[in-house]
Structure 1
């Protein structure tokens, strides 16, 4: 087995996400940094997903005011919801 890197798997435009510019961090320090960055990205994605508009509830829609009055009888409680 050789330690050579297979050049076919790497694309020329792939860049590292994080790069150590100064210092010599340990593996634990790098893992902590990656965990913090991943948590921030997950929180930002969750906030973006929550900001999407939700469908409007039909409960208070104005067209529901134009329905006929409730009738009394068997099974009419089911029909009153529509």
Structure 2
């Protein structure tokens, strides 16, 4: 991105402020809409946890927590 000053003599602070506004607008234009859903990966999907039975509490529960269900 190239920005050219055609009139005036902006200070470095004014130039930095203008550049910040232009970059923020460009980032907002490329961002997905607020209501758009992101695709879930398998690890963060809550259905993965509900797919199999959780071990019951009690004696030996720690041994059942990592074994095949």
Whether these two folds match at TM > 0.5 is no
For the pair shown, the structure with the greater C-alpha radius of gyration is: 1
Q: Which category of TM-score, normalised to the shorter sequence, fits these structures?
A: 0.3 to 0.5
Provide the TM-score with structure 1 as the length reference.
0.39
